[in-house]
């Protein structure tokens, strides 16, 4: 016989499927939310109830008591997450370095008309022209002008490289601030997650927020994490804890002799094992940029010394001698000696009273082919081309590695999304399934209500 328990079962079915529909709605709403993991309503049968038999009190049977939503599960793959975060650190490192190298290549402008190579060729060319006509004041002025332009080209590139180091330094400071901020956020989420778990709940959305922060931390610093039984996650960088439970530990910065930041832990421990974007930024600042600065400084220093050594021995139009054509010792300090140099003091002759002698000018012009580098095996032009080639090779290598790691990262991301991502087609199918179950339960409730109405309001009316 239908009873009020039938209405209760139908109501439970309506509520369970309604809740399941809300989970589907939540999934669809967050289909494009970064870091969101799809959720699934787990429906389960209520414990059965043992009742007395209808035929005899000695008989009994087990009656179903309906359905309930037992939990809302969150889809995640911890092993894939670990691999994905490891690859995030690798790709973050090489993407940061590739970006720096590409910027450096543009900054040095080695393929433009204003390149060091072109300026050197122009400089040698004016000396060659002056050697053929040493008494021409216009050619003498041109030698001075081209020397000044060449020095300025060295200066500008050295300044740009210095500014790149400063930019990298500022980027490191910014990343450290981001790491500390995320550490505090993870500690707060640990506390919230622990509170929800202690009451038997499932803080799925809080897990999503924390996992997204762990992804970003891995990309920035190569941070690793381990989840405890109480739901807290401990995070470490280079073997030192960044977060333990609800306690964050800050990364601090100090300044070295070059006024550049170095990292250490707030508790005084040494910061070790750089990874992720931080590794790319530090390597770029302290190795990649410095290497190019050393190339330029070596080139400028040798060039200045070689030209001045010859020019000091030469004689100008006014029989004066012993003047440096350039001043400075490196690319940044290199300048045309405008204080001492005049048109008449440009040295072209080897001997006094020889205004038509261009042998000294010819010797300076021939410096372009002199083997001054690598123990007398490379000329100025060859050394500069080696610098350009080395940079181009570094750019290509960094871009290739960034691309390779990016491909692996995207493959792991796709693999993770296949499990944890929202599939709109699947959600649409679930929506139809829960809707049909909801409609059927509502129809069942209506039917039971009609049956009870007949029993309660229709019995005893026959014969009246």
Closest by alpha carbon to 383, among 294, 288, 309, 310?
294
Which residues have C-beta within 8 Å of that of residue 169, sequence separation ≥ 6?
Answer: 260, 261, 285
**Lowest pLDDT segment from 15-19, 230-234, 352-356:** 352-356
372 close to 382: Cβ distance less than 8 angstroms: no
- The whole-number average pLDDT for the span 84-105 is 95
pLDDT per position as a tens digit, 245-270 = 999 999 999 999 999 999 999 888 88
Residue 37 has pLDDT above 90, yes or no: yes
Please report the pLDDT score of residue 192 as a whole number. 97
Based on DSSP, count helices (H) and strands (E) in the chain, helices before strands.
10, 14
Residue 152's pLDDT is 96
What tokens does 291 get?
């290497």
Q: Tokens 């049909």 label which residue?
A: 436
Q: Are 298 and 116 in contact (CB under 8 A)?
A: no
- For residue 154, is pLDDT > 80? yes
Q: How many CB atoms lie within 10 A of CB 56?
A: 8
Whether pLDDT at 54 is above 60: no
Q: Determine the distance from the C-alpha atom of residue 446 to the mean position of all C-alpha atoms in its chain, rounded to a whole number.
A: 59
For range 84-104, the mean pLDDT: 95
Residue 4 exposed, middle or buried by CB count within 10 Å (0-12, 13-18, 19+): exposed
Closest CA to 279 of 15, 100, 132, 65: 100
Mean pLDDT of 218-230: 94
pLDDT-based confidence at residue 1 (cuts at 50, 70, 90): very low
Residue for token pair 């809300």: 22
Stretch 136-160: mean pLDDT? 96
Instruction: Specify the higher pLDDT residue, 148 or 77.
Output: 148
DSSP state of 350: S
What band does 2 get if pLDDT is binned at 50, 70 and 90? very low
User: How confident is the model over 374-396, as pLDDT tens digits?
Assistant: 999 999 999 999 999 999 999 99
Closest CA to 44 of 22, 75, 73: 73
The DSSP symbol for 409 reads H
pLDDT higher than 60, residue 56: no
How confident is the model at residue 464, as a pLDDT?
53
């Amino acid at each position: 016989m239908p009873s009020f328990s039938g209405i209760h079962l139908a109501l439970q079915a309506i509520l369970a499927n309604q809740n399941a529909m809300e989970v589907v709605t939540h999934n669809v709403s967050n289909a494009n939310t970064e870091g969101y993991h799809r959720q699934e309503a787990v429906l389960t049968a209520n414990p059965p109830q043992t009742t007395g038999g209808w035929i005899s009190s000695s008989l009994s049977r087990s009656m179903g008591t309906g359905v309930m939503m037992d939990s809302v599960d969150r889809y995640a793959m911890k092993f894939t997450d670990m691999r994905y975060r490891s690859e995030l650190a690798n790709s973050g490192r090489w993407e940061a370095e590739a970006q720096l190298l590409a910027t450096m290549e543009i900054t040095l402008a080695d393929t433009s008309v204003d390149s060091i190579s072109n300026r050197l060729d122009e400089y040698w060319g004016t000396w060659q022209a002056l050697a053929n006509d040493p008494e021409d004041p216009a050619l003498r002025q041109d030698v001075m002008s081209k020397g000044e332009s060449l020095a300025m080209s060295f200066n500008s590139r050295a300044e740009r490289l210095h500014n790149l180091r400063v930019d990298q330094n500022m980027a490191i400071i910014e990343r450290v601030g981001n790491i500390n901020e995320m550490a505090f956020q993870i500690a707060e989420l640990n506390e919230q997650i622990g509170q929800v778990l202690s009451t038997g709940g499932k803080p799925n959305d809080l897990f999503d927020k924390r996992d997204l922060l762990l992804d970003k931390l891995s990309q920035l610093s190569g941070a690793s994490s381990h989840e405890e039984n109480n739901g807290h996650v401990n995070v470490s960088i280079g073997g030192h804890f960044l977060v333990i439970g609800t306690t964050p530990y800050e990364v601090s910065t100090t300044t070295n002799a070059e006024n550049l930041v170095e990292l250490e832990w707030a508790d005084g421990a040494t910061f070790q094992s750089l990874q992720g974007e931080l590794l790319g930024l530090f390597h770029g600042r302290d190795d990649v940029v410095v290497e190019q600065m050393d190339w330029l400084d070596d080139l400028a220093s040798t060039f200045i010394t070689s030209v001045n050594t010859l020019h000091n021995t030469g004689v100008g139009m006014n029989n004066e001698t012993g003047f440096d054509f350039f001043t400075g010792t490196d690319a940044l300090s290199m300048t045309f000696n405008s204080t001492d140099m005049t048109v008449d003091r440009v040295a072209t002759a080897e001997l006094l009273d020889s205004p038509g002698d261009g042998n000294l000018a010819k010797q300076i012009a021939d410096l372009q082919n002199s083997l001054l580098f690598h123990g007398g095996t490379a000329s100025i032009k060859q050394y500069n081309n080696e610098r350009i080639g080395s940079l181009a090779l570094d750019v290509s290598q960094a871009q290739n590695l960034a691309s390779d790691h990016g491909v692996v990262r995207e493959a792991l991301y796709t693999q993770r999304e296949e499990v944890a991502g929202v599939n709109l087609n699947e959600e649409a199918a679930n929506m139809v399934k829960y809707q049909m179950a909801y409609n059927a339960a509502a129809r069942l409730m209506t039917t039971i209500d009609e049956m009870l109405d007949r029993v309660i309001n229709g019995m005893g009316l026959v014969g009246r």
